[in-house]
Structure 1
Amino acid sequence: MSDPLLLAIVGPTGSGKTALSLALAEELNGEIVSCDSVSIYRGMEIGSAKPTAAERARIPHHMLDVADPSEAYTAGDYSRAGREVLADLHSRGKTPIVAGGTGLYLRALLDGLSPVPPRDEELRKRLRHSVQRHGDAHLHSLLSRIDPKAAARIHANDQSKLLRAVEISLLERRPLSAQFHAAPPEPLKEFRIVKIGLTPPRAILYQRLDTRAAEMFTNGLVEETRSLIARYGKDCRALTSLGYTQAVAEINGTLTHEQAVASAQQGHRNYAKRQLTWFRAEPDIHWIEDFGAPSLKRAAEIIQSL
């Protein structure tokens, strides 16, 4: 008996992943596992282009709204939680359809990452307090003493990576570079994985992205951003995401409304290019160039042929 199917629908933002994943979920007795680094956050609806309430009612979705925007959520966090979802779907005889454009999350979910311990918030609080007392250079200096190899790889100003490296070294009582980067990742083994990539004609994709970005502002992106700032603070890390960055700039008066929309449109086009570059380098992706019904027909043919 062959392993159960896991279908991954990948590609740039605006390429039709949501529509295709919904249609395939209905055909394959499936449920959808979001693979998007912004949709994991609660309250970030408009700028993340999350599936609508009607779409979520049509097919169960997972890995949406699993963290507050004030939380740091890593690829490792996503992999651990996502694999629990996959195990549940497997136990219920459902076909997992992983849909999204965050390539690192997909790689972590399917291929695994070198094992590292989860975050320790109490330790992090103490380390942040030390930075406040001793200055921004403290973490890099500390890491240089306990793990010179890691310190040489991480820029002295990258506080987030420095904090994580120091945290891991202290929790495990050995340098991060001594074991974890050498430890092999653990690929997902329970499924027959089929990856389908969407790459519609670029001119059509860019037109869709320009329309989508403008509609986000029309549909209340600035108001949503104000609400997030009021709840989580202006320095909330999730607000550096595409779209929210431009909304913050409009709120602060550094961009006019028209400039913010144009910047978001350009940002979405640039992001789509980066996503395509990432996924083009990934192995075993079957590419489809059409939108809508033709992509569904072609996806079904691909699945049946493998």
Structure 2
Amino acid sequence: MWIERPGPPAGQKDKKTDYEGNPADEADCFLLGRVNHGDGERGETSEPEDVREEPEICRRGEEVGRRGIWFPSMALLDRILFMTKDTFDETFPRIRRLLLSKDRAVIPILAGPTAVGKSSMAVELVRASRPVPVEILSADAFQVYRGMDIGTAKPSRRIREIVPHHLIDVKDPAEGFSAGEFQRMAWRVLEEARERGVAILVVGGSGLYLEALTKGFHTKTGPDEALRAERLSREMLLERLSDLDPEAAARMKDAPRRRIQRALEIVRKEGRPLSEIQSGARVRPPFSFELFLLDLPRPLLYERIDARVDEMFKQGFVEEVRCLREKGVTEEMPSQKAIGYREVHSFLEGRITEEEMLRLVKRNTRRYAKRQLTWFRNRFQ
């Protein structure tokens, strides 16, 4: 059965809108499978429901013998999300039950590759969990940066006004950000939410950040601000690390600068070799988590990625990067390692054509999605 939002009062033109308040036509839909909140009845919603035949554009589900539920689009660039009925019937109600749990002993994590539809499903979960207050904790390595909105598919400001999001727009693009810093900030958000009696839904696809959040680290050592203020080159950092921990320096001879710097910070503050620190017990999080991995058939995921990339450039992605460059952001900065930004920098500097830029962003995003799935399946059994 297909379910539509309530129509307008009698005599007014039926004009659907999405969460942005923009007109939403038949193309502004996504498939979520059949809702079943575990009680054997038709899926619950917080609003009255009218039943109609599915719109022509939404019949993708029939291609694999499924039917779905139609809603106006929930988030910028998340247009179509298809999950098999079995996957949806298990995932959506399980996450919802965790959010509605009175003790909130287990924090749900909605993870998956880029463009799979995590943001759309997250907002719909928040809506389906009313009146329980639910907020979203973003576990995305690049949505933390201000001014990087289009290229990171950041939830729009309008959506963030409706559903509070944490760890978005907390850093300037010229600053660095690490998994350890994310972990400390995220744990603080979870502690404060617990004190306020608010449920948290973690949403993201940055595997290392989710591992830091759920499994902890071997040390609580924070950043060494004095060392960072020196702005040493990669070679100088490696030389200092070699003086204190030759074994670690040998292992990290090909590592990026920020990893060498972090290793040096830990060894300096702990006063013992990195291998000894890493062989000890991890500092475990004071929370319990359950991770839900969204996935799609590979051809459909790649189709969604290509469509998202096309939409990003229509939304002004090149202008976004040009604005960052005018503010002094360079492609060598850690924030610009996000897929898409490097390619746009190359285009703006005349190293590649516009056509090549678009092709590379699509190809590299597809490869990244594949790596994400491999990471999740290997690290989160």
TM range (shorter): 0.7 to 0.9
Residues 122 and 240 of structure 1: CA distance in aligned 2, closer, same or farther (over 3 Å): same
In structure 2, what is the Cα distance between the partners aligned to 1:58 and 1:163?
A: 39
Q: 1:216 to 1:204 in 2, by over 3 A?
A: same
Post-superposition CA distance 1:115-141 (Å, at most 9, x none): 14221232223361xx4xxxx533323
- Calculate percent identity across the aligned residue pairs: 36
Cα distance in 2 for residues equivalent to 1:274 and 1:20:
22
More RCO (CA 8 Å, sep 6+): 1
Match of 1:9 among 94, 110, 120: 110
CA contact (8 A) 1:3 1:190 kept: no
CA RMSD in angstroms comes to: 1.9
Q: Are 1:148 and 2:246 counterparts? A: yes
Residue of structure 1 equivalent to 2:19: none
Partner deviation per Cα, 1:40-72 (whole Å, 9 max, x = no partner):
111110100000122212211111011111111
Question: 1:11/1:260 Cα in 2 relative to 1: closer, same or farther (>3 Å)?
Answer: same
Whole-Å separation in 1 of the counterparts to 2:110 and 2:333: 30
Match of 1:205 among 270, 285, 301: 301
**Who wins on radius of gyration, i.e. which is larger?**
2
Residue 290 of structure 1 aligns with which residue? none
Counterparts of 1:279 and 1:3, CA distance in 2: 24
Alignment of 1:47-66 (within 5 A): 47-66=151-170
Letter in 1 for 2:235: A
Distance 1:186 1:165, change over 3 A: closer
The Cα offsets for residues 67-107 of structure 1, whole Å up to 9 and x where unpaired, read as 11111111110000001101111112222100010011111
- Secondary structure of 2:292's aligned partner: strand
1:227–1:167 CA distance, 2 compared to 1 (3 A): same
Where structure 2 has 5 or more consecutive residues not aligned to the other structure, the ranges are: 1-101
SS of equivalent to 2:291 = strand
The 3-state SS of whatever aligns with 1:195 is strand
TM score, norm. by length of structure 2: 0.68
Partner of 1:256: 353
Task: Say if 2:173 and 2:329, in contact at 8 Å, map to a contact too.
Answer: no
What is the CA–CA distance in structure 2 between the aligned matches of 1:255 and 1:160, rounded to whole Å? Answer: 28
Q: Report 1:38-49 matches (<5 A).
A: 38-49=142-153
What is the CA-CA distance between 1:156 and the residue it aligns to?
Answer: 4.9
Q: In 2, Cα distance between the equivalents of 1:218 and 1:229?
A: 19
> 1:61-140 maps to which residues of 2 (within 5 A)?
61-126=165-230, 128=232, 131=233, 137-140=235-238
8 A Cα contact 1:10 1:101, kept in partner: yes
Superposed CA deviations along residues 277-296 of structure 1, whole A, max 9, x for unmatched, are 11122445xxxxxxxxxxxx
For 2:271, the equivalent position in structure 1 comes to 173
Letter in 1 for 2:147: G
Distance 1:249 1:276, change over 3 A: same
Question: Compared with structure 1, are the counterparts of its residues 271 and 156 closer, same or farther at alpha carbon in structure 2 (3 Å cutoff)?
Answer: closer
Unmatched 5+ stretches in structure 1: 285-306
Aligned residue pair count:
276
User: CA contact under 8 A between 1:8 and 1:98: conserved in structure 2?
Assistant: yes
Higher helix proportion: 1
Residue 24 of structure 2 corresponds to none
Q: TM-score, normalised by structure 1?
A: 0.84
Moved over 4 A (4+): none
